[in-house]
A and B are shown apart, each in its own frame.
Chain A
Amino acid sequence: MISLESYLVVAAALFSLGLYGILTRKNAVNVLMSIELIFNSANINLIAFSRYVTGDTEGQVFALFVIVIAACEAAVALAIIMSLYRILKGVELTDASALKG
């Protein structure tokens, strides 16, 4: 049987990968994908804990809510990226530099 630790290691690895992607990627869509990794790492944690620690469905319900919220957020983020694309003709974060100081 797979131990709780294995799940936690996978989740932590996904979280770190996501964070790495956010810090290094210049493309807005890539950053968005990295953010999804972070959400899903939390989901793995929640479901693993609900199986191994509490033994009830609380954590799984939480994970379902997270999936829905992540979808909403991705939809809004893509809409904003589209809208910016019409103005800048690109989705590179380095182009979005009119606001600074």
Chain B
Amino acid sequence: MERIDTLSSLEFFRPEIVLVLSLMWVLIWDLILKNRPRERRAVLVGSTLLGLVIALGFAFAGTDAPSMGLFSNMVALDGFGNVLRILFIVTAIFVLLFTLHSNELKSVHHGELLVLLLTATVALIWMANSINLLMIYLALETVSVASYVMVGYLKSDRLSNEASLKYILFGAVSTGTMLFGLSLLFGLTGSLDLYGIRSALASQEVVASSGPALMVVIVLVLAGIGFKMATVPFHFWCPDVYTGAPTPVTAFLSVGPKVAGFAVLVRFFYGGLSEPIGSANWAMVGSVDWQTILMVVSVLTMTLGNVAALTQTNVKRLLAYSSIAHAGYIMMGAAVLSGEGIQAMIAYMIVYLFMNLGAFLVVIVVHNEVGSFDVKDYAGIWRRAPMLTVVMGVFLFSLMGIPPFAGFLAKWYIFAAVIKAGLGWFAVVGVANSAIGAYYYLKILRTMFIDGDDTPEPTKPMPLQPVYAGLLFVLVVPNIIGLLLWGYLDQVAEYSKRLLDVVL
């Protein structure tokens, strides 16, 4: 594993540099054009979009770089990080376009939201690539602080403020707990570098003298990472925050920080607490069986998410619990300690981006027209907007994991990796959970298709902004033709299992 110094690292850091420059650019133009509101909006949204697209271009161009530790082993450059980098930028582009015509955000100025979105995006990239405890903590906090403000962006709205307060108090406690764990880990191993920690833990004296301390460290660190991933028992904030936040922000939170949390999980546990054996398999180092902990957390998370979602009446709350359940599925991939597991995780995250953002976009469109997030207000939408209902159906079937939609393939990929690792019972739990999940997704669909048929009110068609129509198309197509894209997705996943220290 090669490590290179700061100046020569910058060459591989182009997407992040572009993002930082464009966030400063947006911040400055926001001030300069203060008295010309109309042009200001166009300039700000335009330059944010341009910055993101240029960063995406650089991110794609950077995928053929060799694996190495940038900035003297602070940040990793490898296949895993490159794929996630693209995923985060794509998420940010979608969320930026979601904000354009959302009724919730109509009354507020968008400038700071765009700056916060760019900040969060660049910090998500750092979070997914950090291989040093200091960088992990810094990136995690940067993402957190930006998203706290985004959640509370509607200053006069009580729910938005409450959600933000709950988020920041819960978040600060979780990251503080994690920080305490990191400080103990630093004391145990004398290193902040994850690979230094691994070699320290591989020596028997450290393990023998540390006793139960390593167990404490793992539990404390899981508090911080679990908060980001929204896994049990650190999921309490998730339904409240998802409900209170403006819906485009909710869409962002349900993909960006969650995926980044899983990336930190992989970096921390695969980098620091296990060592590679053979080609892309790992064995735990140290005295703690954290694989079992991850499996237990995964089972609890998906079960609780699915069961709690059954009784929800608010769409955003329901999707929040559904995203908790999906965190459980993704965690299955992380818990198997194999290259197939990482591949399945990445494939699942990519598919999850399309199906989940799609579902949230439908929620935004319906809210613009109906003005409510209650499932019962979705009654009879079939008659007003048949295409929208069908599109929502595709997203929900995909989330359910019904063939032939992409969500089925993603779930199948995860279960196959789990079975291949010899954990048949684990896969059975996952499949049983998918069955429970089908109920509440179908509940929304039933309301949209069947309910409200008896009300005689005239059915006027629901208006749909051209931007949103285009976005829905872009999001729904990969879900439908998932089977055809499978070869490509498989290649991406194969590429993404190249973690820094894995030699293929």
Task: Tell whether A45 pairs with B173 under 8 Å between CB atoms, given A80-B152, A80-B168, A98-B158.
Answer: no
- Indicate the size class of the contact surface on chain B: 35 or more
Closest-CB distance, B188 to chain A (whole angstroms): 9
A-B contact pairs, 27 of them (CB 8 A): A18-B176, A41-B180, A45-B183, A49-B183, A53-B187, A54-B190, A58-B186, A62-B186, A72-B141, A73-B144, A73-B145, A73-B168, A76-B149, A77-B148, A77-B169, A80-B152, A80-B161, A81-B165, A83-B164, A84-B162, A84-B165, A87-B158, A93-B165, A96-B166, A98-B162, A99-B159, A101-B239
Interfacial chain A residues near B168, Cβ < 8 Å: 73, 76-77, 80
Q: How many residues of A contact B (CB 8 A)?
A: 45
Cβ-defined contact, B152 with A83, below 8 A: yes
Interfacial chain A residues near B158, Cβ < 8 Å: 87-88, 98
Cβ-defined contact, B183 with A38, below 8 A: no
B314 at the interface (CB under 8 A from A): yes
Contact of B173 among A22, A43, A101 (CB under 8 A): A22
Select the residue from B156, B183, B187 with max chain A CB neighbours within 10 A. B183
A-contact 0/1 string along B121-141, CB 8 Å cutoff: 000000000000110011001
User: Complex Cα distance A96/B169, Å?
Assistant: 12
A65 at the interface (CB under 8 A from B): yes
Interfacial chain B residues near A19, Cβ < 8 Å: 173, 177
A-contact 0/1 string along B299-320, CB 8 Å cutoff: 0000000000000111001000
Contact of B172 among A43, A61, A77, A100 (CB under 8 A): A77
Cβ-defined contact, A72 with B186, below 8 A: no
A-contact 0/1 string along B30-43, CB 8 Å cutoff: 00000000000000
Interfacial chain B residues near A46, Cβ < 8 Å: 183, 186
Interfacial chain B residues near A88, Cβ < 8 Å: 158
B-contact 0/1 string along A43-56, CB 8 Å cutoff: 10110111001100
Query: Of residues 208 to 242 in B, which have CB atoms within 8 Å of A's CB atoms?
Result: 239-240
Cβ-defined contact, A73 with B172, below 8 A: yes
A28 at the interface (CB under 8 A from B): yes
User: Complex Cα distance A73/B312, Å?
Assistant: 32
User: Complex Cα distance A60/B260, Å?
Assistant: 27
B192 at the interface (CB under 8 A from A): yes
